[in-house]
Amino acid sequence: MNNQKPQKPTLSGQRFKTRKRDEKERFDPTQFQDCIIQGLTETGTDLEAVAKFLDASGAKLDYRRYAETLFDILVAGGMLAPGGTLADDMTRTNVCVFAAQEDLETMQAFAQVFNKLIRRYKYLEKGFEDEVKKLLLFLKGFSESERNKLAMLTGILLANGTLNASILNSLYNENLVKEGVSAAFAVKLFKSWINEKDINAVAVSLRKVNMDNRLMELFPANKQSVEHFSKYFTEAGLKELSEYVRNQQTIGARKELQKELQEQMSRGDPFKDIILYVKEEMKKNNISEQTVVAIIWSSVMSTVEWNKKEELVAEQAIKHLKQYSPLLAAFTTQGQSELTLLLKIQEYCYDNIHFMKAFQKIVVLFYKAEVLSEEPILKWYKDAHLAKGKSVFLEQMKKFVEWLKNAEEESESEGEEGD
């Protein structure tokens, strides 16, 4: 009997070598840097030649892996240490943004180099965006001249779409804001951006990334006011940016006012409290009475679930609006405000088809409640009405307007007899 244990099967055969592509290549940015710097040194300051060199080198060098090193060199002349400094023993080149002349024309030429490079190698887009975000955080480590050049370049690249406005988030860094670096940088950046495009294009880009209401954060909390922002940027030659921020602030204040008004109405707050609140907001945010009466009208009309039947909605509207007449009357102290309200009523009745026949009844109600007076109504009828539903509404108002004119003539003749 054989007591020997059976042997376990073993794997044997040829041992395969690890394939070259599976080997992890050592990360060596220094060697990459040397290749780029040598090439830039050979091309010299001819930026057309620089663009051609970078285009050709992408086929031989690993741009994808060393994107940060590549952009560090093109901006600062060499690899940047944390904080934005160049190591003393590090190889560097003068063919870079920081060593160039500090003027818009030179920065436009450098912007072309970046544009061509990123158009040629699309995968560099994300790396370039990350690079700029990093550079903005390093601003304190750069000289004033270097910051100015970077600001001009960034503004140009934002204008031509190479960069997304979300990179501006880096400027809200607490230390940069506190020391005034962010605001000073923003001046140069917005000047070059607006120079390439205009304030409307800038506004669109900011709005896309929800940055349109955050510009005041370029200043410390105790200086975040429209007045301070406006003074700072107007004195720096950016009046259009100041006006844009002022308008944004007003738009924000209007939205907040409408939201609060609707909440106060739904709670049933006394009109005297609502009127006091609205007047304080008008003063604080420099909102006109015309704007306020339009907001109140909109708020009043949005607090009700309206009947879908045309014959019933007019009665419902009159009952509802009679209740809110004192509130509207408090903000129609000027003829222009009354005219604004008339136009808003016309627009609402046209846009909401069930209200088409209610227009005249609403106007008469407001006349009796002293929300509207003769002169604005007659002006609206004569030449200040909108085109929307014009023939229908003018026909509705015909008899009432004739009555107003007769009443006005009688009043004038009585006045003359009294004399």
As a whole number of angstroms, the distance between CA 197 and CA 159 comes to 6
As a whole number of angstroms, the distance between CA 79 and CA 103 comes to 24
Instruction: Determine the longest span between alpha carbons in the chain, in angstroms.
Output: 149
> Residue 91: CB partners within 8 Å, gap ≥ 6?
33, 34, 37, 78
As a whole number of angstroms, the distance between CA 171 and CA 215 comes to 10
DSSP one-letter code for 356? G
- What is the structure's pLDDT at 325? 96
Q: How many CA atoms lie within 13 A of 331 on its CB side?
A: 28
Residue 28's CB is within 10 A of a number of other CB atoms, namely: 13
What is the residue extent of each domain of the chain? 29-214, 225-286, 288-410
As a whole number of angstroms, the distance between CA 295 and CA 280 comes to 15
DSSP H/E element including 328: helix 310-329
Instruction: Judge contact between 324 and 362, C-beta under 8 A.
Output: no
pTM higher than 0.75, yes or no?
A: no
As a whole number of angstroms, the distance between CA 70 and CA 57 comes to 11
- What is the structure's pLDDT at 16? 46
Strand-pairing partners, residue 86, are 80
List helix spans (H) across 138-238.
144-159, 174-178, 181-196, 199-208, 226-235
Q: Which two tokens stand for residue 9?
A: 């099967």
Please list the pLDDT of the chain residue by residue as tens digits (419 residues).
Answer: 455 555 655 545 555 454 444 444 566 788 999 999 999 999 988 999 999 999 999 999 999 999 999 999 999 999 998 888 886 667 789 999 999 999 999 999 999 999 999 999 999 999 999 999 999 999 999 999 999 999 999 999 999 999 999 999 999 999 999 999 999 999 999 999 999 999 999 999 999 999 988 999 999 999 998 889 999 999 999 999 999 998 888 888 888 999 999 999 999 999 999 999 999 999 888 888 999 999 999 999 998 888 888 888 989 999 999 999 999 999 999 999 999 999 999 999 999 999 999 999 999 999 999 999 999 999 999 999 999 999 999 999 999 999 988 876 665 555 555 55
CA 287 to each of CA 85, 115, 243, 252: distance values in angstroms, whole numbers, following the listed order:
49, 44, 15, 11
Instruction: Judge contact between 392 and 356, C-beta under 8 A.
Output: yes
Strand-pairing partners, residue 80, are 86
Q: Which two tokens stand for residue 62?
A: 């690993």
Q: Which two tokens stand for residue 316?
A: 């419902």
Residue 202's CB is within 10 A of a number of other CB atoms, namely: 22
CATH dotted code for 288-410? 1.25.40.180
User: Which residue's entry shows tokens 């930026």?
Assistant: 47
User: Could you give the 3-state DSSP secondary structure of residue 86?
Assistant: strand
